[in-house]
């Protein structure tokens, strides 16, 4: 998939006989909750921040008044978390960050 996203692959067009380069990206993945969390790099329901779509905590999970729209995770926040994870040097720092962000 990475090769398709970056370089593409060269194939022969069966109609024209010419070489063409194909590229592609994943636009949509349908999955159940555990698999979706794994793909998204989220620890899922076992995490302190158990939802990959919002910032609800374990303690708030039964709170019927928690507003998932107001507290939804923004793409920029998720990107910042991912970038920050790459900069962490120790396993304990990574575990701490994972605990705090889900």
Q: CB nearer to Zn ion: give 9 or 35.
A: 35
As given in the structure block, the two tokens for residue 8 are: 């593409």
Specify the 3-state DSSP secondary structure of 35.
helix
Instruction: Summarize as ranges the residues that interact with Zn ion (CB under 5 A).
Output: 51, 53-54, 68
Given the complex with Zn ion, which of 29 and 91 has the nearer CB atom? 29
* Listed residue (63, 36, 64, 29) closest to 51, CA to CA: 36
What's the closest the beta carbon of residue 88 comes to Zn ion, in angstroms?
A: 25
Nearer to Zn ion, 73 or 98 (CB): 73
Question: Cβ of residue 61: shortest distance to Zn ion, in angstroms?
Answer: 9
Q: What share of the chain is helix, strand, coil (3-state, %, to 5)?
A: 40, 10, 45
């Amino acid at each position: 998939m990475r090769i398709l996203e970056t370089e593409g692959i060269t194939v022969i067009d069966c109609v024209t006989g010419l070489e063409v380069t194909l590229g592609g990206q994943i636009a949509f993945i349908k999955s159940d909750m555990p698999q979706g969390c794994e793909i998204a790099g989220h620890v899922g329901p076992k995490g302190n921040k158990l939802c990959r779509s919002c910032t609800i905590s374990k303690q708030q999970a039964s709170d019927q008044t928690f507003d998932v729209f107001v507290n939804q995770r923004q793409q920029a926040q998720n990107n910042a978390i991912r970038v920050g994870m790459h900069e962490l040097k120790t396993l304990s720092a990574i575990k701490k960050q994972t605990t705090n962000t889900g």
